[in-house]
Amino acid sequence: MFKLNENYLKLRGSYLFSTIAKKVASYSADNPDKELIRLGIGDVTRPLTPTVIHALHAAVDEMAAAETFRGYAPDLGYEFLRKAIAEHDFAGRGVSISPDEIFVSDGAKCDSGNIQEIFSADSKIAVCDPVYPVYVDTNVMAGRTGVFDETKEQWGDVIYMPCTAENNFTPALPEEVPDIIYLCSPNNPTGSALKKDALQQWVDYANKHGSVIIFDAAYEAYISEDDVPHSIYECTGAESCAIEIRSFSKNAGFTGVRLGYTVVPKALKASDGTALHSLWARRHGTKYNGAPYIQQRAGEAVYTKEGQEEVRALVSWYMENARLILDGLKEKGFEVSGGVNAPYIWLKTPNNMTSWEFFDYLLEKAGIVGTPGSGFGPSGEGYFRLTAFGSRENTVRAVERFKAL
Ligand code: PLP
């Protein structure tokens, strides 16, 4: 009889957003007349921009003629897109990343989940608490997290770095040195962002101790403050200790189109001198058959002058929602943060309610669906996440409902 991978059997509960979806579905079934406003999941709602639509159509048309038809994409990505990325996302910021250090993929979720595969099974990982659940769950799948401690609600072998109001939701350098450090800035779920000097400290720490940083910059486009780096490679020495993961989902609205990329610099080497670049290329080429040509042309269009203007307008549009939520909740007396460099607003639950108590309260009293902070880790207990990705109308109505609580 076949046996299952025991690591998978250790996974805790269901994925956070599936739990919320089930809870909301059951509430809606019991209350069919209640109209809900969903500010829970970090999914975009605005349509694709004209430049992207045009590029998608043009790429589909190319597929109609034998001369321009495309089959399998190069597994590491088309040169035209890798060049556009290197030029706009890196050279444009004074950072030298060459196109062949960029691995195009179908998004940041897969990359942030898969990248751990190339590291030793006994690697020690460090994550922020609260954390984007993918980082920990994929390391559970890899058998790297030890035994779950029910009292702490944490995995025994994982170094959790609390991100609380006291440290402005930014992690402190851990005393016990991890092999792999996951950093997400701007952060999901807290909406905080690491300033340049803080990120430089992480890079120095990783280089000093021989750790690798997996830097998730999926929300890079939302940065509005000058001293927040858009790429970890803006920090000195990052190319020898950091992998960066990016996405087209939240800037260009590609959550359903699917496109992202990961940077593995050639200078990043393991202690025996093996370049991670060649290992990741080997893994990527073996398990992945390349992001579709059509999507990659759409990604290229994002970097045109018009594409960039449209992305900026899209991001500003969502950030106006963030501003409305922040201002409205502050006016009502909520303790709120985030929403300045990220499309997430992190609020303290009132009257010492737990995150799930507030979830139920908000659903019942205001018909608003948000995300309980404790779902992202124990330090998220007593907090709640709202997203700025709703429609303007729903955002305004949600703020009114909050004010009427
Ligand atoms: N990384 C973070 C921190 C995210 O919040 C998300 C999505 O919500 C992703 C990655 C996934 O991005 P993608 O749509 O590119 O898979």
* Rounded Cα–Cα distance for residues 56 and 64 (Å): 13
Residue 79 lies in a domain: yes
Q: Are residues 277 and 354 in the same domain?
A: no
Protein residue with its CA nearest to atom 2 in ligand 1: 218
Is residue 397 within 8 Å of residue 323, measured between CB atoms? no
Quick one: tokens of 294? 């059509």
* Within a domain: 2: no
Cα(126)–Cα(227) distance, rounded to whole angstroms? Answer: 25
DSSP state of 145: S
Asked if residue 153 and residue 77 are part of one domain, the reply reads yes
Q: What's the pLDDT at 249?
A: 98
User: Of the residues 238, 271, 304, which one is the last residue of a structural domain?
Assistant: 304
**Can you tell me which atom of ligand 1 is nearest the CA of 110?**
16
| Residue 350: alpha-carbon gap to chain centroid | 27
Measured in Å, residue 112 CA sits from the centre of ligand 1 at 8
pLDDT at 179: 98
User: Could you give the count of Cα atoms lying within 13 Å of 224 in the half-sphere of its Cβ?
Assistant: 16
Are residues 261 and 324 part of one domain? Answer: no
Residue 196 lies in a domain: yes
Say which CATH number the domain at 316 has. 3.90.1150.10
The domain that holds 171 is classified in CATH as: 3.40.640.10
Calculate how far, in angstroms, residue 255's C-alpha sits from the geometric centre of ligand 1: 9
Q: Ligand 1 atom 3: the closest Cα is on which residue?
A: 188
pLDDT (tens, 9 = 90+) of the chain, 405 residues, equals 999 999 999 998 777 888 899 999 999 999 999 999 999 988 999 999 999 999 999 999 999 999 999 999 998 999 999 999 999 999 999 999 999 999 999 999 999 999 999 999 999 999 999 999 999 999 999 999 999 999 999 999 999 999 999 999 999 999 999 999 999 999 999 999 999 999 999 999 999 999 999 999 999 999 999 999 999 999 999 999 999 999 999 999 999 999 999 999 999 999 999 999 999 999 999 999 999 999 999 999 999 999 999 999 999 999 999 999 999 999 999 999 999 999 999 999 999 999 999 999 999 999 999 999 999 999 999 999 999 999 999 999 999 999 999
Q: Which of 259, 282, 304 is the last residue of a domain?
A: 304
Q: Which amino acid is at 157?
A: D
Residues 57 and 101 in one domain: yes
* Statement to judge: residues 317 and 384 lie in one domain: yes
Name the domain count of the chain: 2
Show the ligand 1 pocket: residues with CB < 6 angstroms. Answer: 42, 107-109, 112, 132, 184, 188, 216, 218, 247, 249, 255, 260
Written as six digits, the tokens of 81 are 């897109």
Distance from the alpha carbon of residue 403 to the mean position of ligand 1, in angstroms: 30
Residue to probe by mutation, ligand 1, list 132, 135, 261, 387, most atoms within 8 Å of CB: 132
User: What is the per-residue pLDDT for 139?
Assistant: 98
On the 0-12 / 13-18 / 19+ scale of CB atoms within 10 A, 5 is exposed
pLDDT at residue 174, as a whole number: 97
Between the CA of 273 and the centroid of ligand 1 the distance, in Å, is 31
Q: Residue 132: inside a domain, yes or no?
A: yes
Residue 42 and residue 74 in one domain: no
Q: Do both 205 and 279 map to the same domain?
A: yes
Q: How far does residue 108's CA lie from ligand 1's centre (Å)?
A: 5
Query: How many angstroms separate the alpha carbon of residue 156 from the centre of ligand 1?
Result: 26
Ligand 1 atom nearest the C-alpha of 250 is: 14
208 and 330, same domain (yes or no): no
Distance 218 CA to ligand 1 centre (A): 6
Q: Say yes or no: 316 and 300 in one domain.
A: no
1 in any annotated domain? no
One domain for residues 254 and 387 = no
Are 399 and 324 spatial neighbours (Cβ–Cβ below 8 Å)? Answer: yes
Pocket test residue of 188, 223, 259, 295 for ligand 1, highest count of atoms within 8 A of CB: 188
Contact criterion met (CB below 8 Å) for 259 and 104: yes
| In a domain? residue 93 | yes
**3 domain-assigned:** no
Q: What is the 233 CA–ligand 1 centroid distance (Å)?
A: 20
Ligand 1 mean position to 201 CA, how many Å?
A: 25
Atom of ligand 1 nearest to the CA of 42: 8
Cα–ligand 1 centroid distance for 32 (angstroms): 31
Q: Which range marks the domain in which residue 37 is found?
A: 8-47+307-404
The pLDDT, as a whole number, for residue 19 is: 85
155 and 66 housed in the same domain: yes
> What pLDDT score was predicted for residue 12?
87
Instruction: Quote the pLDDT of residue 71.
Output: 96
Which of 304, 335, 367 terminates a domain? The answer is 304
> Ligand 1: which of 187, 250, 387 to mutate, judged by most atoms within 8 Å of the beta carbon?
250
Which atom belonging to ligand 1 lies closest to the Cα atom of 254? Answer: 14
159 shares its domain with 13: no
| The two three-digit tokens of residue 101, written as one number | 């250090």
Residue 225 lies in a domain: yes
Atom of ligand 1 nearest to the CA of 260: 15
